[in-house]
Amino acid sequence: MTSFKLKRVYEAPEASDGTRILVDRLWLRGVAKDKGRIDLWLKDIAPSDALRKRFHGKPEDWEAFCEAYAKELEGEAAQAAVKELRDQLKKGPVTLLYAARDESHNNAVALKAWLERDQ
């Protein structure tokens, strides 16, 4: 199965991105929906506000964040969003978009690892 790609939403869209899906709970500051070429916004797959706030800016707590996020991904709303992601991937390339500055420690990185582990 093809893998999901990751990209900061502020990077220029490319044809190879395929379907571009925003996986953040909050809409982006200063980004119009048409400008970011966001095809789908799956906020139900994003970490809860409480989880996001608890770990924001704490890369040393990365493993704990990933574990807590994985538990949230088992919820009903998140599972519906996971199904949508997997359905999109069957149609072609999918790029998970995120806004975080930290390209190694963000919800999209954790989500991609979780999705690929469960394939």
Determine the pLDDT at residue 36. 72
pLDDT tens sequence across 7-33: 999 898 999 999 999 999 988 877 776
Determine the pLDDT at residue 2. 64
Q: Which residues of the chain have pLDDT under 50?
A: 1
Helices 62-72 and 107-117, packing angle to 10 deg = 60
Tokens 């979780």 found at:
114
pTM confidence score = 0.91
Q: Which structure tokens are listed for 72?
A: 């949230």
* Number of domains the chain contains: 1
Q: Which domain holds residue 37?
A: 5-117
∠ CA 84-55-57, rounded to 5°: 110
Tell me the average pLDDT of the chain. 90
